[in-house]
Amino acid sequence: MAPNSTILSSLKLAMILVLAAWICMWILRPTQLWKKSWHVAEDRANATILGDYGLNVVVFCFPVLAVATLGYTYLHLCVSKGRLSRQRISLMTNFSSPLIISRPVGILSGLELLFAAVFVLFLVWTYYSNVSGDFKKMPPYKPLQLNRWQLKMMRMGVRIGSLSEACLALLLLPILRGMAVFRIVGIQFEASVRYHMWIGNAMILLSVLHGITIMSVWAVKRSFLEEITKWQRTGRVYIAGAIALVTGVIIWLTSLPPVRRKQFKLFYLAHHLYMVFILFFLLHAGAGHFYLVIAGVLLFALDKILRVMQSRRETCLISACVLPCKAVELTLPKHPSMKYTPTSSIFIKIPAISKFQWHPFSIISSSNMDDDRFSVLVKCQGQWTNALFDMVNSMADAGSGNMNSLCVAVEGPYGPATFPHQRYDSLVLVAGGSGITPFLSILQDAASRNGNISKYPTKIQLIYVVKRLQDLSMLTPISPLLINQSGELGHLKLKIFVTQEEGTTTIVREMFNDLPQVKTIVMDRNSSVNIMARPEGLLWKATITMLSFLTFLASLVCLSHIFIHQGKKSSESKYPSWVNDLLVLCSFVIATSSCSVATVLLRWRKSANNVQLLSRKYTESAEMHYSRQLKGALEEHEINFGRRPNLIDILSELSAEIEESKVGVFVCGPYSMRESVATFCRAYLQKSNGGDSKQKCHFNYHSVNFSL
């Protein structure tokens, strides 16, 4: 039964109002009107049980957590509702279509550019308002042992640091996985990672400018060492700020693309210094400033806790297939009730290879077709993936069927609540190399329609570009769908481009028959396997989000009343400022621990109903997986050798063939491929908006990028 649309509308309106209030608070915060009103509000709050610290938590932390709670509830209802209405596609196309295509910044939509411009304007406004207010109320500089320009430089440096707080408030939100708040607006984890990169670059730049400006004044005064090693009793602790700055720079340097791609382990380990960075930011800025960013930190901590709990229960592989293109297909068991959408991804850790490294892979199967298993396809592109290939290949060569020794920890799956391919009349899938993997799940899902044609695209065109002929074995998991094509997949047309080899094969069946055989190993028939733990549901995520806020607020109020006597200003001077910081940290630990205990109890209750599944049915189906006979050959499928595709020409021809319809264009591959497709979609949309009557189709661009 579909949820009441009134409830969805109410949730959406509530999210918009709360988010608008939070944004208005940030805009008004640097103004004199806000500062005067805030001091009055704090004085009044001190006369209540909340105190000024409770007021800070409610005003700065609650809105973000409230939006997250409402958002998870909204997504839960939307999943049961099904899909987005097609009437909204044309409006979304205008905002989400590529607007700027440039290698330094990538492919930006109009909406992304708008939000980036608004955020930059907000930073400029905040800095101008704070600095102008400081200059108008310049304190006497002689008692501070600073001349006038030094005092101005100090104030400017401090206000630059306040801009990095705004960046830190948003920094962790884009990289939430299971508790991803960006899913509310249809932005997935793999797409939002670049927002984390942009915000992180801005934060480090502002933090470095903040540190250089202030330390340059100390250097001129010849008091650099004295100031930077001082641990003040009250106010900002400079040495803590220096440690936080150095830690942030280390994280930033190790996350640069050359380091991240060649030394992923270094990048991964260095990123765990975020705990040091956040701790010393708290000690440097103080509890009053930490309240501004704690909502994102709390959500990130909850997300991390849920992921750790899910991954603690390891499972074993059902089967593994070694493909000729030096890729491995891994099949793992899952609970039948665990559903996922096309292009979903999981994070995998194999302790036999590394006890710490997690790697993301897109799921190539459909939960509508396989309710008790799922598969991922791993292409050898680095040290970890090569180690996995060598391990599985050696098992296959030795004829070993004991897969139980290869334990796997899994996080996820992570994906859209409802995938947008169901909105369109036609689909165009453009893939290069290993970029085919997310599209395999789309084709599997489309093949599971079970006669319900109205919910799925009627036409699908797959354009696949590879370097060598053997790379086409990446299509092996869906080869029965490609060869034995029937009505369940609709009208599928495949265009293959092999760029670095020449060949004469023009029939898809012959092409697959000419490829080397796939080596398959399966689990021992007499063994049993644990089902991977399911991720927590959206309603539980909404529950623990609000629970964490209430627990944090209650803990902070209680601890502050115990250790700091409110209403007595003289008593506050007895306590150093780090006492407040410690109380915030303790409240944070209590809040996250209470949510951890609640989640453990929930999982323990669920696990009582779970039993180990015998492997027999897994084994039998795994052995049959690649034993299907490829019958028939569709002449529509096209194979090209020795040349690259001109994607703009291909898409232009396609627009002339397709009747008036809504077309979803999905691309996953190198930047040059995404650039060509984005250029076509942008040009086509401009012609349509210009009133060209010949433009009958609506092309909506989607980039599926899994390079984190």
Residue linked to tokens 């891994």? 330
Strand partners, 667: 430, 703
Q: Considering only CA atoms, which of 528, 644, 547, 642 is closest in space to residue 602?
A: 547
pLDDT at position 88: 46
pLDDT digits (tens, 9 = 90+) for 592-615: 999 999 999 988 887 655 544 444
Q: What is the mean pLDDT of residues 688-702?
A: 70
- In the chain, the percentage of residues whose pLDDT exceeds 70 is 82
Q: Residue 41: is its pLDDT beyond 90?
A: yes
Q: What is the mean pLDDT of residues 228-247?
A: 86
Helical pair 538-563 and 577-607, crossing angle rounded to 10 deg: 150
The rounded distance, in Å, linking the Cα atoms of 576 and 579 is 6
Q: How far is CA 150 from the centre of its chain?
A: 43
The rounded distance, in Å, linking the Cα atoms of 681 and 667 is 12
Q: How far is CA 17 from the centre of its chain?
A: 25
Q: Residue 616: is its pLDDT beyond 50?
A: no
pLDDT digits (tens, 9 = 90+) for 213-222: 999 988 888 8
Q: Is residue 707 part of a domain?
A: no
Q: Is residue 175 part of a domain?
A: no
Q: Residue 1: is its pLDDT beyond 70?
A: no
pLDDT digits (tens, 9 = 90+) for 329-365: 999 988 888 888 888 999 999 998 988 889 999 999 9
DSSP 2: P
pLDDT digits (tens, 9 = 90+) for 567-600: 444 444 567 778 889 999 999 999 999 999 999 9
Q: Residue 72: is its pLDDT beyond 90?
A: yes
Q: Is residue 201 part of a domain?
A: no
Q: Considering only CA atoms, which of 258, 193, 101, 260 is closest in space to residue 671?
A: 101
The rounded distance, in Å, linking the Cα atoms of 270 and 282 is 20
For residue 326, give both structure tokens.
Answer: 């030096």
Q: Residue 621: is its pLDDT beyond 60?
A: no
The rounded distance, in Å, linking the Cα atoms of 565 and 571 is 7
The rounded distance, in Å, linking the Cα atoms of 614 and 423 is 39
Q: Residue 631: is its pLDDT beyond 50?
A: no
The rounded distance, in Å, linking the Cα atoms of 589 and 254 is 29
Give Cα separations from 492 to 205, 440, 497, 498 (angstroms).
Answer: 49, 13, 17, 20
DSSP string, 80-92: HH----GGGHHHH
Q: Considering only 136-140, 310-314, 456-460, which range has the smallest mean pLDDT? A: 136-140
**Number of structural domains found in the chain:** 1
- pTM, two decimals, is 0.89
Q: What is the mean pLDDT of residues 684-705?
A: 74
Q: What is the mean pLDDT of residues 427-443?
A: 91
pLDDT digits (tens, 9 = 90+) for 642-652: 888 888 888 88
Q: Residue 402: is its pLDDT beyond 90?
A: no
| Angle made by CA atoms 58, 62, 67, in degrees to the nearest 5 | 155
User: 455 is in which domain, residue-wise?
Assistant: 315-529+628-645
Q: Is residue 88 part of a domain?
A: no
Q: Is residue 433 part of a domain?
A: yes
Residue 365 amino acid letter: S
Q: Residue 116: is its pLDDT beyond 90?
A: yes
| Between 57 and 454, the higher pLDDT residue | 57
Q: What is the mean pLDDT of residues 166-172?
A: 96
pLDDT at position 455: 62
Q: Which class for 34: exposed (0-12), middle (13-18), buried (19 or more C-beta within 10 A)?
A: middle
Q: What is the mean pLDDT of residues 71-100?
A: 66
Give the three-class secondary structure for 134: helix
The rounded distance, in Å, linking the Cα atoms of 572 and 586 is 19
CA atoms in the 13 A half-sphere facing the CB of 238: 16
pLDDT at position 122: 97
Q: How much is the mean pLDDT over the chain?
A: 83
Q: What is the mean pLDDT of residues 456-483?
A: 84
Q: Residue 702: is its pLDDT beyond 60?
A: yes
Residue linked to tokens 């001349």? 147
Task: Identify whether the C-beta of residue 476 lies closer than 8 Å to the C-beta of residue 512.
Answer: yes
Strand partners, 362: 345
For residue 146, give both structure tokens.
Answer: 């600073």
CATH of the domain at 320: 2.40.30.10
Q: Is residue 651 part of a domain?
A: no
Q: What is the mean pLDDT of residues 453-482?
A: 82
Q: How many CB atoms lie within 10 A of CB 384?
A: 20
Q: What is the mean pLDDT of residues 105-120?
A: 90
Give Cα separations from 630 to 396, 507, 509 (angstroms).
Answer: 24, 12, 7
Q: Residue 87: is its pLDDT beyond 60?
A: no
- What confidence tier does 175 reach under pLDDT thresholds 50, 70, 90? very high
509 phi and psi, to 5 degrees? -60, -45
Task: Give alpha helix (H) positions in 488-576.
Answer: 508-514, 538-563, 569-572
- In the chain, the percentage of residues whose pLDDT exceeds 90 is 39
- What confidence tier does 91 reach under pLDDT thresholds 50, 70, 90? very low
The rounded distance, in Å, linking the Cα atoms of 184 and 330 is 31
For residue 246, give both structure tokens.
Answer: 């150095």
Q: Residue 484: is its pLDDT beyond 90?
A: no
Find the distance separating the first CA and the last CA of the chain, reported in whole Å: 38
Q: What is the mean pLDDT of residues 139-165?
A: 82
pLDDT digits (tens, 9 = 90+) for 124-151: 999 999 999 888 887 665 556 777 888 8
| Angle made by CA atoms 584, 119, 149, in degrees to the nearest 5 | 75
pLDDT at position 144: 60
Handedness of CA 172, 177, 182, 187 (dihedral sign): positive
**Residue 200, C-beta contacts closer than 8 angstroms, at least 6 positions apart:** 167, 171, 252, 255
Residue 466 amino acid letter: V
Q: Is residue 695 part of a domain?
A: no
pLDDT digits (tens, 9 = 90+) for 316-336: 888 888 988 889 999 998 888
pLDDT digits (tens, 9 = 90+) for 513-559: 666 677 888 876 555 567 888 888 899 999 999 999 999 999 999 99
Q: How many CB atoms lie within 10 A of CB 652?
A: 13
Q: Is residue 508 part of a domain?
A: yes
Q: Residue 92: is its pLDDT beyond 60?
A: no
pLDDT at position 123: 97
The rounded distance, in Å, linking the Cα atoms of 484 and 123 is 58
